[in-house]
Amino acid sequence: MTLKSKGIIMEIRAGAGGDEAAIFAADLFRMYTKYAQSQGWSFSVIDSNRTPIGGLKEISFEINGPNVYEQLNNESGVHRVQRVPKTEKNGRVHTSTASVAVLPKVEATEVKINPQDLKIDMARSSGPGGQNVNKRSTAIRVTHLPTNIVVFSQTERSQPQNKEIAMEILRAKLYEKQQREQLSQISQERRAQIGTADRSEKIRTYNFSQNRITDHRLGKSWHNLDTILDGKLDAVIKAFKKSSS
């Protein structure tokens, strides 16, 4: 399959660590959107689940622009943070995680979907606290029956717009699934060289006490964590390009 992606759908989910994991997920969201702005790319939130203290249990968003997937496709996996949370009274370092998924946006012609394989449900869109933001049923839930993949969209104020977004997410998830299946057929030795592309794979640690970020796939560290979290990802991305050249 030849991919012709001009953008990505990125999903960030808080993992182990409770409120601190949600705060870290929000930090990652800020890092990626700041980097997108520095590249002249556009981004828009598809859906999010925020916590009362400013964290994110999960968020999905689009980033659009030239070479977005090529630049960010290595960000998929589990990101780990080690730091003293603001809520920690005894100064103890906590370890928390968040998972990142990078899904390339693909054209309808690149992933074939049989309409008979879809179950489409409609619901009322809801805002923070469960308040209805629209009295009409505009939210769309699409279930792909053969794979049991479920996607949901409520961002827009019309059913057709939300259905279009949901189908875009579904195509991206089906493409990712096809890529994983192809990868599973590669020899074990080759998989060891290129990684499994598994979201459960710990790829990076952000250590605040040492102002250090370590990418475990590259075996490389940078000692400007604060700068990287502010969206300055160029050094990390260039390191991946150099390792694959």
The CATH number of residue 128's host domain is: 3.30.160.20
| Rounded Cα gap, residues 135 and 95, in angstroms | 42
Q: What are the two backbone dihedrals, phi and then psi, of residue 200, each rounded to the nearest 5 degrees?
A: -80, -5
Give the confidence band of 124 by pLDDT, cuts at 50, 70, 90.
Answer: low
Q: Which residue has the higher pLDDT, 154 or 74?
A: 74
Query: Does residue 2 lie within any of the structural domains?
Result: no
Q: Which residue has the higher pLDDT, 201 or 121?
A: 121
Judge contact between 81 and 208, C-beta under 8 A. Answer: yes
Vertex 208 angle, CA 78 and 9, to 5°: 35
Q: Do 64 and 95 share a structural domain?
A: yes
Q: Do 119 and 103 share a structural domain?
A: no
| Rounded Cα gap, residues 140 and 142, in angstroms | 6
Domain boundary among 184, 218, 235: 184
Give the confidence band of 190 by pLDDT, cuts at 50, 70, 90.
Answer: very low
Q: Do 124 and 95 share a structural domain?
A: no
Domain boundary among 139, 162, 184: 184
Q: What percent of the chain has pLDDT over 90?
A: 40
Give the confidence band of 137 by pLDDT, cuts at 50, 70, 90.
Answer: low
Query: Does residue 191 lie within any of the structural domains?
Result: no
pLDDT score for 206: 96
pLDDT score for 162: 86
Instruction: Say yes or no to pLDDT of 239 above 70.
Output: yes
DSSP state of 76: -
- List all residues 6 or more positions away from 34 whose beta carbon is below 8 Å from its beta carbon: 230, 231
Instruction: Say yes or no to pLDDT of 136 above 60.
Output: no
Write the CA distances from 140 to 81, 144, 165, 168, integer angstroms: 34, 13, 9, 12
Q: Do 53 and 37 share a structural domain?
A: yes
Domain housing 70: 7-107+196-244
